[in-house]
Amino acid sequence: MADQTTNPIAFVADGTIPPSPPPASQTGIIKWMRENLFSGVTNTILTVLSLMLIYVLLRNTLPWILNGVWNADSLAQCREILDGKTGACFAVLTERWHQLIYGFKYPDDAYWRPNLAFVLMLVAAAPVLFFDLPRKMLLFTALYPFVAFWLIWGGAIMVPVVALLGCVAAGAVFQKFGRNSFATGFFGAIIVALVVWNVGGALIPEDANEGAMLSAVPSRDLGGFMLNLMLGVTCVSLSLPLGIALALGRQSDMPLIKWVCVIFIEFIRGVPLITLLFVASVMLAYFFPPDSTVDLFLRVVIMITMFSAAYIAEVIRGGLAALPRGQYEAADSLGLDYPQAMRLIILPQALKISIPGIVNVAVGLFKDTTLVSVISMFDLVGMIRGPILASTEWNGVYWELLGFAALLFFVVCYGISQYSQWLERRLATDHH
């Protein structure tokens, strides 16, 4: 033991030194700020300026929002409550909430119908948007347009049932004959659908709308953000297949189809949407006798769908052009015919490339639905510009109303954009 005490080495570490905390300037929030905000003279100046800007913005807007009045009957009363202080008059939103969402003529005991249609829309859209969900749900998606039509417009249940029967009959005919000859199946389906609709339409009695389970609501009574959503959803979902057909038609070898598609696309793209809407609302009235006009909502849907289909067709044509020639040749060498090659090889790749462009068109289209306010339909913007700002109570409230409209549109459009980014990541097959 003695020689151990005379060990010439004075100190032996029997473990590692405990780590000391990093210097204060190299850790936590301070480090982050040094690296990201104050890493140089220029950046420091920019940071300070930005902070000042944010401060000024918040100083002006925060009291306005926080002081907001939520319960008042008119702008004058709002101002009375505020008593000279800055503050928003959000009371217009609470008082006219139903008008902003549903328009001013939709019967108030029927608000549950569009609400239910909206919830069902989410269910119906889910299997289309997220393809991990069970495929059986697509059955409901196929039924959804008819259910939604019945819920929102109400009236005789026979109308959507006949429409559905027509579509089912057309689908059956196409299944049977489309395999051998596309043209026979296609035109046969159209003829069968028209026959079913005509016969069914004739069978529905004229007064079927009276005493129906859901009271009938004419299209003129639709309004508010509901109208924007309806137009947006209908037109996007209709214009996507139409756009694909136009894009393929434009690349077709058959001159007639090719030129019909080219002229359609170039004409529609060369005309402003607002002109088309005016034609839909004003000019068509001259061509029909006064009592039997085509429903205004339907006219507008047709015009907006044609407009966005032309744009989507060009986006998809870009996607088709981006595919290497080898893909087409590969499909041919496998012995696939045209529909198979398109369905299995070309379109899946072309559509994937086109997603950002398609979403761009869809978002633009959704915002363009506010243009219907110029043809005196009361969508969200039409409600604000027309009835609400023209009431003696709320004339003069601009920021609150238009800010609310902007917020609603932002939520929807941002949602669409986030979905498309998820979809791009999900479909990414190129490995880095």
Which residues in this chain contact other proteins in the complex, by CB under 8 A? Answer: 75-76, 79, 95-96, 99, 104-105, 149, 153, 159, 162-163, 197-198, 201, 204, 219, 278, 281-283, 285-286, 288-295, 297-298, 374-376, 378, 382, 385-393, 395-396, 398
| Phi, psi angle pair for 66, to nearest 5° | -70, -35
* Assigned token pair, 174: 């196409």
Contact 101, 409 (CB under 8 A): no
Contact 200, 158 (CB under 8 A): yes
184: region left, alpha or beta (phi > 0 left; psi from -120 to 50 alpha): alpha
CB 420 → other proteins: shortest distance, Å? Answer: 31
* Assigned token pair, 181: 């000859």
One-letter amino acid of 394: W
Q: Which CB atom, from 241 or from 396, has the smaller least distance to other proteins? A: 396
- From 349, 363, 273, select the one nearest 310 (Cα to Cα): 273
**Dist. CA 189–CA 366, nearest whole Å:** 31
CB 112 → other proteins: shortest distance, Å? Answer: 18
Contact 175, 205 (CB under 8 A): no
CB 190 → other proteins: shortest distance, Å? Answer: 14
**Dist. CA 21–CA 28, nearest whole Å:** 11
- From 329, 322, 321, select the one nearest 345 (Cα to Cα): 329
Q: Which CB atom, from 127 or from 224, has the smaller least distance to other proteins? A: 224
Total Cβ atoms within 10 A of residue 239: 26
CB 82 → other proteins: shortest distance, Å? Answer: 10
By CB atoms closer than 10 A (0-12, 13-18, 19+), residue 213 is: exposed
Q: Which CB atom, from 11 or from 286, has the smaller least distance to other proteins? A: 286
CB 289 → other proteins: shortest distance, Å? Answer: 4
Q: Which CB atom, from 92 or from 309, has the smaller least distance to other proteins? A: 92
CB 194 → other proteins: shortest distance, Å? Answer: 8
Q: Which CB atom, from 158 or from 423, has the smaller least distance to other proteins? A: 158
Helix, strand, coil in percent for the chain, rounding step 5 = 75, 0, 25
CB 87 → other proteins: shortest distance, Å? Answer: 12
**Dist. CA 213–CA 157, nearest whole Å:** 8
Q: Which CB atom, from 49 or from 199, has the smaller least distance to other proteins? A: 199
Q: Which CB atom, from 106 or from 307, has the smaller least distance to other proteins? A: 106
Q: What is the largest CA-CA distance in the chain?
A: 123
Q: Which CB atom, from 265 or from 301, has the smaller least distance to other proteins? A: 301
CB 294 → other proteins: shortest distance, Å? Answer: 6
